[in-house]
Structure 1
Amino acid sequence: MQTLSIQIQDAYMQQFMNFVKESHSNITVSKDKNLELDPYFYERQKQLHQDLEEVESEKAEMVSHNDLWNNINSHLKSIDS
């Protein structure tokens, strides 16, 4: 069995559901909670995994929260001077 994500035009929804009902032995429909909460969930998840791999392989550097804000504050002070 394969899983697909589909988008259905509102006006076509009833026809699609009729098709699914007729094909119930071959099709299972379920809502994906992740996509209900965030339509870009899987794209964000993929990017996060890629970012973590880059940090682990040292292609990218993770900056601590304190270092980030220290850099921002330093930059703002240099602008004010």
Structure 2
Amino acid sequence: MKTLTIDIQDSFLKEFLNFVQKNQNKILVRNSSDYEDIYFDDRKKQLQKIREDIKDGKEKLYSIDEFEKRFDLFEKEIDKKYAN
């Protein structure tokens, strides 16, 4: 058996997985720990974009204390707005 690493276009993924399933007696699929889910690359890109936006000042990163204060205020506003 030979080992290959492949990149698959998103639009071809379902077709490829169907092919693998139909030929499972000839193909052994091993997932690396980084790629346990098929959306790993998408999430990685999203996180990289968020980090860039924070560095560029387009997004703000709050401390845990500031986040808790803001979230407490948000909860109070929601409670007030939707109280019976």
Provide the alpha-carbon RMSD of the alignment: 2.9
Q: Which runs of 5+ in 2 are unaligned?
A: none
Residues 1-81 of structure 1: pairs in structure 2 closer than 5 A: 3-5=6-8, 7-9=16-18, 10=21, 12-14=22-24, 17=26, 31-33=30-32, 34-35=34-35, 37-78=36-77, 79-80=79-80
Identity fraction in percent: 18
Cα distance, 1:77 vs. partner? 3.0
TM-score by length of 2: 0.57
TM-score with structure 1 length normalisation? 0.59
Quick one: which amino acid aligns to residue 13 of structure 1?
N
Q: Post-superposition shift, 1:60? A: 1.1
Letter of the 1:72 counterpart: F
Superimposed CA distance per residue, residues 16-49 of structure 1 (whole angstroms, 9 cap, x where no aligned partner): x4xx8xxxxxxxx8744122x2221111111111
| Aligned pairs, number | 67
Unaligned runs of 5+ in 1: 21-28
The 2-side partners of 1:30 and 1:60 are apart by 39
Residues in 2 aligned to 1:38 and 1:50: alpha-carbon distance in whole angstroms: 20
Larger Rg: 1
